[in-house]
Amino acid sequence: MGEFDGQRVVVMGLGRFGGGLGVARWLASQGADVLVTDKEPEARLHESVRGLRALVDAGRIELRLGEHNVSDFTTCDMVVVNPGVAKPWDNRFVRAGEASGARVTTEIALLCERLPSRERVIGVTGTSGKSTTASMIHHGLGGMGVRSHFGGNIGGSMLENLGEVRAEDWVVLELSSAMLHWLGREPAAPAPGVAVVTNFEANHIDWHGSIEHYEQSKRRLLDMQAAGDRAVIGPGVHAWVTSPGVERIEIDAGEGVGGCVLPGAHNALNAEVAARAIGAALGRGRVDEARDAVRSFAGLPHRLRLVHEVGGVRAYDDSKSTTPAATLLAVEAVSGAIDNGEAGVHLIAGGYDKGVDLSAIAALGDRIGGLYAIGQTGGSLLGGSNALACGTLERAVGEAMGRAKNGDAVLLSPGCASWDQFENFEQRGRRFADLVRGAGGRRRTA
């Protein structure tokens, strides 16, 4: 018998990031009667729907796509809300589920409740760098011979692989502000034994409604901890309060691990945060070993990765950059890795409007080789003398590759989400790689 035998569960938001897909399959495997509902039509969700097709055809999962129906939320035992649902406290369907007495929760809460030991969980959050830092921790643990599992905001769901997590293993979770909002509202939600906060800048105002709510949600990672836990605090957030009895490990802006494969001072800092987090988990005496282990981390797809080089021009895919701070760091890193410095950086930026001030990116237009503005926010990036309105990624790549000289770099680091023109940042990054390779071929024959 499954844990949820006979229960009717509504998964609100199939999405295109894998969390809704994974939790729906897991719930079905646990005997639940699962309804997946999403406002997007099936045509926009075809990849996720394909992942559920066998269970739908077998009658174990029902789909309601293109709409939500209030009655679904008032006649179920549990609602699992996708973290992508903005301002859930104002959402009439979420509120209907709560009013009916159903448990309203999320995939990440269901996961955290079922992990063998919260003390062996490392939770990582922050406005920028959390994906890289969390990945470095997972990579570093593996390099030190310590078995770990990586999940959370990276996509998919660890619920489907719970059987592989042993009591002695470590679990690394990248935690978004939306995930932390939900975890913080559930009194019984287990807190990670090791909490990591990389930094804090304004972001996701569209989801939270205010920067204050966004910050409050991030702080919940620390608020949830108890005496005996450890917290690794990055630059700019040293003033954030930890619970009594929690060991604080503060990292200053000037610190970093030298000799990292990933370029940039910010990645050296990410590596130091990762190494100190591993030390918090395994013991301070292993921090130097952890620094050695994280140096070899080569990066994640769409996170400042070199995807093409032709005619002396390098193309970097940093599509995961969805904040101005991340874009500024990417420009700094790339300018230090190429021959021509800042003047040789051709930046493609812009995208979905999250309500964040993009003036810091716009100011780059007077310093770098070129700023090629795309998407909804493109118009707000045109103040600099070297800024060009391109609208689409296709035109931006063509212009940037055409203007770049030997020793320059073309950098996709949008500083914005992708949803105005792409399904997700991965699709945007893949398209960029295809375009620069195509433009590179034309460049060689020019």
The 10s digit of each residue's pLDDT in 213-272 is 999 999 999 999 999 999 999 999 999 999 999 999 999 999 999 999 888 898 999 999
Q: In the predicted model, what is the mean pLDDT of the chain?
A: 94
Residue range 8-105, CATH number: 3.40.50.720
Quote the pTM value: 0.81
Q: Across-strand partners of 79?
A: 10, 104
Domains 8-105 and 109-295 in one fold: no
Q: Which CATH topology does 109-295 take?
A: UDP-N-acetylmuramoyl-L-alanine:D-glutamate ligase (3.40.1190)
Residue range 305-445, CATH number: 3.90.190.20
Domain residue limits, the chain = 8-105, 109-295, 305-445
pLDDT at residue 128, as a whole number: 86
- Residue 435 is encoded by which pair of tokens? 């375009």
Q: With pLDDT > 70 as the criterion, what percentage of the chain qualifies?
A: 98
pLDDT band at 299 (very low <50, low <70, confident <90, very high): confident
Residue that is written with structure tokens 């789909």 in the block: 63
Calculate mean pLDDT across residues 330-340: 93
| Cβ atoms of residues 138 and 219 within 8 Å | no
The 10s digit of each residue's pLDDT in 40-66 is 999 888 889 999 999 999 999 999 999
pLDDT at residue 445, as a whole number: 35
pLDDT at residue 263, as a whole number: 86
Calculate mean pLDDT across residues 268-280: 98
The 10s digit of each residue's pLDDT in 106-123 is 999 999 999 999 999 999
pLDDT band at 440 (very low <50, low <70, confident <90, very high): low
Calculate mean pLDDT across residues 186-207: 91
Query: In this model, does residue 18 exceed pLDDT 80?
Result: no
pLDDT at residue 1, as a whole number: 62
